[in-house]
Homo-oligomer: A and B are copies of this chain.
């Protein structure tokens, strides 16, 4: 096992009816800014529940945070918070709203160019105003971690950042808030959580069996519960299990003491930045091709994954690895997320721009061995067509 630090101070309030707990979890004296997205939280009644719980408080609202939240939009919230001297943020939505809220929390009192908050990968963040979240979309894990991704539309950059100052103080996870989500969002959420685990699991062995069992536990549960959650919009238990899987997939537990990859995410981010694909779509496209391309470097873990997640234990090693990759792809397809660039109207002619962006952003030593250069990225992208 590798040495590691683990620290996750976010309080989770999980279950039906928990939004009412905002009345006691948001500090009484706080001047609150509620941030949300495109209006689904209005349509499904979640925002009303939030307003009811905070009735009588000093609360303002900022809506319109888009998927892949943009610097340009978020700076309007920063300016509102500064102008009105708001001192507590409450994100109500999915990963994009929570990620955006992390940016706002860090930017409000940031001196200098606020884009530096993200551009420097979070390293320049020295403080943030406190915030909580009401999660409505199981996917990114942002509700219980210190990372975020924001997009600079003008620069066409999708930039991750993280800082110990941007853990949510609390997150409310009420599975009933997901009942009205469109199937596409559920499918995307399953792929996102699955890939988060794979980025921390499918590397090379360091004799850390507990982390491996936890990772496999999340994958197996997503495979078992994900299709139920997709098929039955009001299946509380399936939605609850998916929600908790997505949170546990990226709260530090499965990644503690093991190598991490994240190359699929880094290449996927550029596909979203350039061509607007959903985040999870890019992961579903890149991951199977990355598994195939890294077959040798990941051999031991690919065989473990084949055996313990897909029950492929017998026969030729390469056939087991191929089987595990094809089952991964088939699982993503089965929940409605296509796994080929061509499914989204992209082809060979779109790859040079992606590779140029990776080069410009110096993303040329990716993966757990820092050896995924532009040549490997090209190979992965070509195999993704």
Q: Which residues of B contact A4 (CB under 8 A)?
A: 12, 14-15
A15 to B4, CA, bound (A): 7
Q: Name which of A66-74, A129-137, A240-248, A280-288 contacts chain B.
A: A240-248
Question: 8 Å CB contacts to B: which residues of A6-52?
Answer: 6-18
Within A200-256, which residues are at the interface with B (CB < 8 Å)?
207-210, 213-214, 216-218, 220-221, 224-225, 237, 240-241, 244-245, 248, 253, 256
In this complex, which of A6, A7, A14 has the most chain B Cβ atoms within 10 angstroms of its Cβ? A6
Interchain CB contact under 8 A, B210 and A218 = yes
Cross-chain contact B256 with A1 (CB below 8 angstroms): no
Q: State in angstroms the CA–CA spacing of A208 and B244 once bound together.
A: 9
Which chain B residues border A10 with CB–CB below 8 Å?
7
Whether A257 pairs with B244 at a CB distance below 8 angstroms is yes
A5 touches B1 (CB 8 A): no
Q: Which residues of B contact A8 (CB under 8 A)?
A: 8
Asked, given contacts A9-B9, A213-B216, A213-B217, whether A14 binds B207 with beta carbons under 8 Å apart, the answer is no
Whether A208 contacts B5 by the Cβ 8 Å rule is no
Cα distance, A231 to B139, chains bound together (Å): 43
Interface band, chain A: 35 or more
Contact check, B2 vs A11: say whether CB atoms are below 8 A apart.
no
The answer to whether the Cβ of A360 comes within 8 Å of any Cβ in the partner chain is: no
On whether the beta carbons of A257 and B14 are closer than 8 Å, the reply is yes
B241 and A208 contacting across the interface, CB-CB below 8 Å: yes
Asked whether, in the complex, the Cβ of B237 is within 8 Å of the Cβ of A1, the reply is yes
A349 on interface, CB distance cutoff 8 Å: no
Query: Which of B3, B220, B241, B253 interacts with A207 by CB under 8 Å?
Result: B241
A sample of 17 cross-chain residue pairs with beta-carbon separation below 8 angstroms, ordered by A number, consists of A1-B237, A1-B244, A4-B14, A7-B9, A14-B256, A207-B241, A208-B244, A209-B225, A210-B244, A213-B217, A213-B220, A214-B214, A214-B217, A244-B256, A244-B257, A248-B253, A253-B253
Closest residue of chain B to A247 (Cβ to Cβ) is: B6
Which of B3, B216, B240, B241 is in CB contact (< 8 Å) with A16?
A: B3
Q: Considering the chains assembled together, what is the distance between the CA atoms of A225 and B209 in angstroms?
A: 9
Q: Known contacts A8-B8, A209-B221, A213-B221; is A240 also within 8 Å of B1 by CB?
A: yes
Closest residue of chain B to A257 (Cβ to Cβ) is B14
* Most chain B C-beta atoms within 10 Å of own C-beta, residue among A14, A208, A256: A14
**How far apart are A48's CB and chain B's nearest CB, in angstroms?**
21
The answer to whether A209 and B16 touch (CB under 8 A), given A11-B6, A217-B214, is: no
Q: Is the CB of A14 within 8 A of B5?
A: yes
Instruction: Give the nearest-CB partner of A16 in chain B.
Output: B3
Name the CB-closest residue of B to A236.
B1
Tell me the minimal C-beta distance from A101 to chain B in angstroms. Answer: 20
